[in-house]
Chain A
Amino acid sequence: MKTEVPAGAAYRPRRDRLWFARTRSYTIFVLRELTSVFVAWSVAFLLMLAGAVLGGGLPEFAALAGRPWMIAINVVALAATAFHSVTFLNLAPKATVVRLDGYRLPAWMIQGGNHSLWLVVSAVIAFFVLRGFR
């Protein structure tokens, strides 16, 4: 039997709707991207806080934040933002290749620097929030 194939009659596979569930690394990628939802949430939460501080409603805000479901959301948000920090700071050397003396700085040095910076910034913020400078 002769089956003539017109040129370009290739089979186009259907889109795989669940691609992100296929391998572990895809899933991790999607989780990494979804941290952005919690980044947005955290910002919103902080704006509410700032509003409460400036508008004098801090006790009400504290009560709201103390609700168990609020705490639950914020625990997840904490995990997500921390995951975001780790992945984001680790990936930075990909875009920023630093060359010294013609040879590139190894990635771990840049990553190490980033993580140290993260610690320092966190410490400074905690200091001002908890102790202040007055």
Chain B
Amino acid sequence: MEVARYRPGQDAEPVFQGYDVPLMSDWAVLDGLNHIKDQLDGSLSYRWSCRMGVCGSCGMTVNGEARLTCGTFLSEYGDGPVRVEPLKGFPIIRDLVVDIDGFLAKLSSVRPWLIREGEDLPLTAEYAQTPEQLEAYKQYSMCINCLLCYSACPVYVLDPDFLGPAAIALAQRYNLDSRDMGDRFDVLNQEDAVWGCTFVGECTKVCPKHVDPAEAIQRYKLTAALRSVLPWSRR
């Protein structure tokens, strides 16, 4: 395995370091990294936690592609070498660890919570929602914030201010929720938001959870365009 190392204060820019890792048929790339950390070089840093593709920590660039390393088998790459780099498009803190604080700020900027107007129901009854209404936004609620989509999107890589696929998909998750009464037009209808996307479509291709953010964005473009032309149509 060839792993990108960047030690602030020591390396001026990332360098590759090679490690020999046994090729086990059921090892994921992450198991290879853990093997390096435990047996060969304790100073390698990277994030991981659940090892079951749901916490979203372990996204990296594997042989040029944005992947979840816990869900990518080493055997996919034959005898190697497998090149592991940090996610593209983010500042690198150390080795394979990138800075995602910018993303978290974007996430909260789309008001990702259920907005209600008027009285709240008491805590004895739920807001009714049929399975069809659930299905209308369910897909967009599956995002694990792994940021593979950002890393794959050339617009984001060129312009870090772009609101980006996952944040917009999350906004749509609430927009399309039958219980939500909020309006996110002001944040989404911006040049750095939906209009920044030129529909490259890579975000959808790399998304491990089939969220289809590209679709979410194009759908909101249509919504936003219609609203701009027909000012009286609210949603």
Given contacts A5-B9, A29-B200, contact A13 B99 (CB under 8 A): no
A16 proximity list for chain B (CB < 8 A):
88, 157
Answer whether residue A59 sits at the interface, using C-beta atoms and an 8 A cutoff: no
Answer whether residue B104 sits at the interface, using C-beta atoms and an 8 A cutoff: no
The answer for the CA separation of A33 and B199 in the assembled complex, in Å, is 10
Contact assessment for A11 and B135 in the assembled complex, using a CB-CB cutoff below 8 Å: no
Contact assessment for A11 and B14 in the assembled complex, using a CB-CB cutoff below 8 Å: yes
Q: Which of B1-42 contact A (CB under 8 A)?
A: 6, 8-10, 13-14
Within the complex, the shortest CB–CB distance from B204 to chain A, in Å, comes to 9
The answer for the CA separation of A117 and B191 in the assembled complex, in Å, is 33
The answer for the CA separation of A30 and B72 in the assembled complex, in Å, is 28
Q: Which of A9, A29, A103 contacts B201 (CB 8 A)?
A: A29
Answer whether residue B93 sits at the interface, using C-beta atoms and an 8 A cutoff: yes
Answer whether residue B202 sits at the interface, using C-beta atoms and an 8 A cutoff: yes
Q: How large is the interface on B (under 10, 10 to 19, 20 to 34, 35 or more residues)?
A: 20 to 34
Binds A, one of B75-83, B110-118, B211-219: B211-219
Given contacts A9-B8, A11-B8, A102-B130, contact A20 B158 (CB under 8 A): no
Contact assessment for B64 and A23 in the assembled complex, using a CB-CB cutoff below 8 Å: yes
Contact with A along B59-75 (1 / 0, CB 8 A): 00000110000000000
Answer whether residue B121 sits at the interface, using C-beta atoms and an 8 A cutoff: no
Answer whether residue B221 sits at the interface, using C-beta atoms and an 8 A cutoff: yes
Answer whether residue B132 sits at the interface, using C-beta atoms and an 8 A cutoff: yes
Contact assessment for B92 and A3 in the assembled complex, using a CB-CB cutoff below 8 Å: no
The answer for the CA separation of A16 and B214 in the assembled complex, in Å, is 23
A15 proximity list for chain B (CB < 8 A):
157-158
B14 proximity list for chain A (CB < 8 A):
11, 13
Answer whether residue A76 sits at the interface, using C-beta atoms and an 8 A cutoff: no
Contact assessment for A102 and B8 in the assembled complex, using a CB-CB cutoff below 8 Å: no
Contact assessment for A10 and B91 in the assembled complex, using a CB-CB cutoff below 8 Å: yes
The answer for the CA separation of A19 and B218 in the assembled complex, in Å, is 23
Binds B, one of A62-70, A89-97, A108-116, A123-131: A89-97
Contact assessment for B157 and A94 in the assembled complex, using a CB-CB cutoff below 8 Å: no
The answer for the CA separation of A19 and B133 in the assembled complex, in Å, is 40
Answer whether residue A26 sits at the interface, using C-beta atoms and an 8 A cutoff: yes
The answer for the CA separation of A94 and B139 in the assembled complex, in Å, is 14
The answer for the CA separation of A9 and B201 in the assembled complex, in Å, is 32
A10 proximity list for chain B (CB < 8 A):
8, 91-93, 98-99
Contact with A along B125-148 (1 / 0, CB 8 A): 000001011011000000000000
Within the complex, the shortest CB–CB distance from B174 to chain A, in Å, comes to 17
Answer whether residue B230 sits at the interface, using C-beta atoms and an 8 A cutoff: no
Answer whether residue A122 sits at the interface, using C-beta atoms and an 8 A cutoff: no
Given contacts A5-B8, A16-B157, A19-B157, contact A103 B132 (CB under 8 A): yes
Binding site for B on A (CB under 8 A): 3-5, 9-13, 15-16, 19-20, 22-23, 25-26, 29, 33, 91, 94-97, 99, 102-103
